[in-house]
Structure 1
């Protein structure tokens, strides 16, 4: 047991994204957060997709894939198991903005990058 374990009473994950669980079905995506309520969104209800960069790392997720519908959404940390699967699906959407994805990944500042918006 390390000193942090003894001081805090629990171990601290080297990768905070390991604390998130992302169940994916044909109908929906669910994000089970360690400290928040579970978020769920139906694939068919997604209206926009963003990458959100924060300065919270390395002890908290700092890049999030945001799947947004009319009333709510899901935030998926970039390095969590399930991110790549969701990204592979949404990057196939017509008019997905790969340039904004690349800009987000190369950005070290806080920011939001629109990757896709449902056409009206």
Structure 2
């Protein structure tokens, strides 16, 4: 253990997204964080999917994947372990809006982009 680590304690995560735990099963997606309430949604309950961009980075996540249902939902920050796996699944949904995904990736404003809506 280095002297700086002894003085200042455990080093903080490099990215705020590293503090999120995303659990993906056949039935649900769960997102946990020590400073937030646990969020969970069943795959079958998803009615709308958005990307939400904020201007809070780099000290907080600034792009969130929102999986929304009538009575449940969860937010997954881009860069969290599990984000890519969820994206791979939802991007195969019929009528997924790839143009809005691309628009979100080039956006630095506070804005929401609808990626998919249940028919």
TM-score (norm 2): 0.91
Structure 2 segments unaligned to the other structure (5+ residues): none
| In 2, Cα distance between equivalents of 1:92 and 1:33 | 27
Tell me the alpha carbon deviations over residues 11-38 of structure 1, each in whole angstroms, 9 at most, x when there is no partner. Answer: 3221111100111000000001231111
Work out the CA distance in 2 between the residues paired with 1:95 and 1:67. 16
| Whole-angstrom CA distance in 1 between matches of 2:17 and 2:4 | 21
5+ residue gaps in structure 1? Answer: none
Runs of 4+ in structure 1 deviating by more than 3 angstroms, as ranges, are none
Per-residue CA deviations over 1:56-84 (Å, capped at 9, x if unaligned) read: 11011110000000022100000000000
Whole-angstrom distance in 2 between the partners of 1:75 and 1:111:
15
3-state SS in 1 of match to 2:84: helix
Q: Does residue 85 in structure 1 map to residue 82 in structure 2?
A: no
Structure with greater strand percent: 2
Residues matched between the structures, number: 116
Partner residue in 2 for 1:100: 100
